[in-house]
Amino acid sequence: MKKIVILISGRGSNMEALLAANLPCTIAAVISNRADAEGLGIARNHGIPTAVVAHKDFADRETFDAALAKTLDVYQADIVVLAGFMRILTARFVNRYRGKLINIHPSLLPAYPGTHTHARALQDGVKIHGCTVHFVTPDLDHGPIIIQAAIPVLQDDTEQILAERLLYQEHRIYQQAVRWLCQGQIELDHNNYVRFRFPKQAGYSLISPGLE
């Protein structure tokens, strides 16, 4: 059974959803760059080992990433899951875990990389918004896409309301992506393309606002 390690910086709602998902793998540890991250207590309540690698204890990103990798390797992680981990990782770290390192982002990438995705979507007046699970590469928020979920943007949506509605979809697709990886149903090939080992699903359309 494959081992996953989850990296967090705060409460880790996606982490909590993964802990409750009965995944076909072992959650070997939850690691945070902040000792006060609320998610560490949640993980311990689930009987999951925890560790802290505090970025403030290191002079630069390279030495922090080296210490983080050393801690990850103690747990022999087959998959590293970023769940609200608020650090930009160096290319050396990312390449070390190529094909094993995944992240979830609150937009339909490649649209709206970076922060404040919901506010930017509302400002631009988009009618469909969403979230993306992707493999992590040195190019921030532009790694090969595993799965996406889309929701309509409603007339009275605020940034907070939109974020709350989308979070439910984040929990759904992150569980699915991790399950596929644990079962060996997807892989990242040498061309940085996500390969699926199961038949493609039938397509459907999401139109917003709906047609009359």
In this structure, how many other beta carbons lie within 10 angstroms of the beta carbon of residue 207?
9
CA-CA distance, 39 to 204, in Å (whole number)?
Answer: 36
Answer whether 145's CB lies under 8 Å from 134's CB. yes
φ, ψ for residue 150, nearest 5 deg: -125, 145
In the prediction, which pLDDT does 200 show?
Answer: 67
**Token reading at 74:** 């103690």
Identify the architecture of domain 3-196 in CATH.
Answer: 3-Layer(aba) Sandwich (3.40)
Sequence ranges of the domains in the chain: 3-196
pTM for the structure as a whole: 0.94
CA-CA distance, 158 to 86, in Å (whole number)?
Answer: 24
Catalytic status, residue 46: no
Q: What is the pLDDT along the chain (212 residues), one digit of tens a residue?
A: 999 999 999 998 999 999 999 999 999 999 999 999 999 999 999 999 999 999 999 999 999 999 999 999 999 999 999 999 999 999 999 999 999 999 999 999 999 999 999 999 999 999 999 999 999 999 999 999 999 999 999 999 999 999 999 999 999 999 999 999 999 999 999 999 999 987 767 677 778 888 77
**Given the residues 46, 55, 105, 116, the one annotated as active site:** 105
